């Protein structure tokens, strides 16, 4: 027996030594990759910062900065600020020590963020000689034995357990056994048995395999191997050099997080409509991460993703849910929930704020009613639509949203605004969430663009643009915007009873209080934030004139049947040539070739469905790739609904 214990201890010591040797070599190989990638990432970051204007430092400077003095010295990019010492910046007229310190500190923080976000690509033609140390370091991992990951995992177990097991097992050696208590001897024999199991385990046997890591080779041989299979090298580089990568339809989430999201269960039994792949991913992301900001571009189905997450939570025996939204979107939320799932929905009206769920279900409340709701404990999920409207910390609305976000385990903040252009709003949204959900987000990444911010905030922020999920989208997406009358609009509508034409235009008769006009401006604002073009149609010239006054200068048109042909052509040409966002107003009866539009807005439903279809066809069929989003502004309970339902205006 003594020889048996001694042999187990000796073999376990040999196994522990082999494990430590493998882990050391494995660590050095990975460290060599990270060290070789460092200079390349620094250079890539500096190159990126040469295209970032110095004014982007205002979001991270930590105080006011006089950018006029900096621009006057022809320092136009962040890279130029970084290359200037604080002492050099102080020589500029109007720049004191505080401003110089803020500028240089902000530039350094942005450089750190740029290094983290920098993508690495190793050039073959021409060969990127600066990447030679990286290619040589990667060779050892790319050419490692297939069993290396399993051997590494076994080595970690041996490193963690064997030393303590050997210490306890020594208690039952012949010389020490007589001095130990019965319980210590029992623990010692258990340790011997566990060591024997490890020694006989096929996984730990891998530690005795020779050449688990690839050999060290000359640079030329490593380059030849890279040229044969660059994809293998890039895969290892992404894994060990922490290069942020990801799938577009998954919001460029890191691979390990995306895998966990895909593995998250999602029960769709209460849904009445199927989910597209990216929508199911968004619902799973919300369920896994619990408190999230869903920032998909308008038209990708944020409402459906929120309802899907709620429906899953309902199957987990939670019964009460709350949706907060702008007042003009309450009716649409109620209609969509009824269409998307079988859970009962309760509209909570602003004039009756004390009403709440008596039998469970989804309550939909306007922002104004939110502070006065008696929210029951154990809320299953809290959803905030247009959440960027709740970031003013001085308002009762914002403080109520923050309180409910921190009291509720599952939260979804929905916004279609790209947050890299609205850093202040993004900071406000993060402020709604508990510190543990938001503290890791560094806002410096916003200056580097949408993708960098998405990668940096991946644990809490998911955004997809249309181009990210283009393969899953239909050609045309129709959205009915249910917009109730304002008081003035209701009065005009009632006075026009019997005059169908006047009734259809009543919603725009009082522009200052018009709910339709307000929603139209919101849709145009979202399109502007996302850099897409908009066409606004109406069959009434005076409605288009009102819309033009509301949208202001820069709006093209309105193009009506009375507009001369040359002016029509000029308006269309300017709209087509515009880079990024532009808005064109047109009578629906006018035939125009409208290239490049992504959003179509009808100020009112059209009595002739074919006329509406032809107008959409002129936009969708004009050679634009991607999806066209069509919004129809409807007032519930009016002639709009009858026309939309095909019942005519009578």
How does pLDDT run across 521-579, given as a tens digit for each residue? 999 998 998 888 999 999 999 999 999 999 988 899 899 999 998 898 899 889 988 88
Give the global pTM.
0.66
| Cβ–Cβ < 8 Å for 15, 204 | yes
Q: What is the pLDDT of residue 362?
A: 92
Using 50, 70 and 90 to split pLDDT, how confident is the model at 622?
Answer: very low
Which of residues 581 and 2 earns the better pLDDT score? 581
- For residue 468, pLDDT over 60 is answered with yes
List of residues 6+ apart from 367 with CB closer than 8 A: 324, 325, 326, 327, 389, 390, 397
- For residue 94, pLDDT over 70 is answered with no
Which of residues 435 and 350 earns the better pLDDT score? 435
Using 50, 70 and 90 to split pLDDT, how confident is the model at 269?
Answer: very high
Lowest mean pLDDT among 183-192, 337-346, 377-386: 183-192
Lowest mean pLDDT among 319-328, 346-355, 431-440: 346-355
Question: Which value, in Å, is the radius of gyration of the alpha carbons in the chain?
Answer: 32
Q: What is the pLDDT of residue 623?
A: 47
CA within 13 Å, CB half, 282: 32
How does pLDDT run across 495-536, given as a tens digit for each residue? 998 899 999 999 999 999 999 999 999 999 989 988 889 999
How does pLDDT run across 232-255, given as a tens digit for each residue? 887 787 776 655 566 788 888 887
Using 50, 70 and 90 to split pLDDT, how confident is the model at 327?
Answer: confident
Q: Domains in the chain, ordered, with CATH? A: 1-49+120-243 (no CATH), 50-119 (1.10.150.20), 248-467 (3.40.50.10810), 474-644 (3.40.50.300)
Using 50, 70 and 90 to split pLDDT, how confident is the model at 440?
Answer: low
User: In 3D, which of 455, 420, 457, 464 has the Cα closest to residue 117?
Assistant: 455
DSSP notation for 19-45? HHHHHHHHHHHHHHHHHHHHHHHHHHH
User: In 3D, which of 540, 548, 500 has the Cα closest to residue 524?
Assistant: 548
How does pLDDT run across 276-312, given as a tens digit for each residue? 899 999 999 999 999 999 999 888 889 999 999 999 9
Mean pLDDT of the chain: 83
């Amino acid at each position: 027996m003594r020889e048996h214990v001694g042999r187990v201890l000796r073999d376990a010591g040999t196994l522990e030594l082999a494990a430590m040797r493998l882990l050391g070599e494995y660590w050095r190989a990975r460290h060599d990759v990270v060290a070789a990638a460092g200079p390349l990432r620094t250079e890539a970051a500096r190159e990126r910062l040469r295209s970032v204007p110095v004014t982007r430092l205002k979001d991270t400077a930590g105080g006011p900065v006089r950018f006029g003095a900096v621009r006057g010295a022809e320092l136009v990019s962040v890279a130029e600020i970084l290359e200037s010492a604080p002492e050099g910046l102080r020589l500029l007229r109007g720049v004191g020590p505080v401003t110089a310190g803020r500028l240089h500190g902000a530039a350094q923080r942005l450089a750190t963020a740029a290094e983290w976000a920098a993508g690495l690509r190793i050039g073959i033609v021409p060969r990127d000689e600066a990447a030679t140390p990286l290619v040589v370091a990667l060779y050892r991992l790319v050419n490692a034995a297939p069993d290396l990951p399993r051997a590494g995992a076994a080595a970690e177990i041996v490193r963690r357990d064997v030393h303590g097991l050997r210490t306890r097992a020594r208690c039952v050696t012949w010389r020490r056994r007589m001095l130990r208590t019965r319980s210590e001897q029992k623990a010692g024999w258990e340790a011997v048995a566990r060591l024997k199991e490890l020694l006989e385990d096929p996984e730990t046997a891998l530690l005795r395999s020779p050449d688990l890591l690839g050999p060290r080779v000359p640079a030329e041989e490593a380059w030849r191997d890279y040229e044969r299979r660059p994809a293998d090298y890039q895969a290892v580089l992404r894994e060990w050099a922490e290069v942020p990568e990801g799938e577009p339809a998954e919001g460029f989430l890191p691979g390990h997080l995306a895998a966990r999201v895909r593995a998250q269960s999602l029960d769709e039994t209460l849904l009445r409509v199927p989910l597209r792949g990216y929508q199911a991913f968004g619902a799973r992301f919300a369920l896994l991460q619990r408190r999230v900001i869903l920032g998909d571009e308008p038209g990708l189905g944020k409402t459906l993703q929120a309802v899907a997450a709620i429906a899953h939570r309902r199957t987990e025996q939670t019964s009460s849910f709350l949706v907060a939204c702008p007042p003009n979107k309450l009716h649409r939320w109620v209609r969509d929930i009824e269409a998307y799932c079988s859970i009962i929905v309760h509209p909570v009206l602003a004039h009756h704020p004390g009403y709440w769920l008596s039998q469970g279900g989804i309550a939909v409340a306007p922002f104004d009613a939110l502070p006065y709701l008696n929210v029951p404990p154990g809320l299953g999920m809290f959803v905030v639509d247009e959440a960027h409207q709740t970031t003013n910390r001085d308002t009762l609305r914002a403080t109520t949203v923050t309180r409910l976000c921190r009291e509720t385990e599952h939260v979804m903040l929905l916004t279609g605004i790209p947050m890299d252009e609205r850093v202040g709003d993004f900071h406000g949204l993060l402020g709604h969430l508990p510190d543990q959900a938001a503290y890791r987000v560094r806002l410096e990444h916003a200056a580097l663009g949408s993708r960098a911010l998405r990668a940096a905030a991946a644990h809490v922020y998911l955004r997809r643009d249309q181009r990210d999920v283009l393969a899953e989208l239909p050609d045309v997406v129709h959205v009915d915007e249910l917009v109730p009358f304002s008081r003035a609009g209701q009065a005009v509508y009632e006075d026009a009873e019997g005059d169908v034409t006047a009734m259809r235009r009543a919603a725009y008769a009082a522009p200052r209080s018009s709910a339709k006009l307000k929603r139209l401006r919101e849709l145009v604002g979202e399109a502007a934030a996302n850099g897409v073009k908009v066409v606004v149609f109406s069959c009434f010239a005076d409605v288009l004139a009102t819309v033009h006054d509301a949208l202001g200068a820069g709006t093209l048109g309105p193009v009506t049947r009375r507009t001369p042909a040359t002016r029509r052509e000029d308006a269309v040409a300017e709209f087509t040539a515009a880079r990024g966002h532009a808005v064109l107003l047109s009578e629906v009866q006018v035939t125009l070739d409208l290239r490049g539009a992504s959003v179509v807005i009808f100020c009112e439903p059209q009595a002739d469905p074919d006329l509406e279809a032809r107008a959409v066809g002129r936009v969708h069929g004009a050679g634009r790739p991607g999806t066209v989003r069509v919004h129809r502004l409807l007032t519930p309970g009016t002639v709009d609904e009858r026309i939309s339902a095909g019942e005519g205006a009578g």
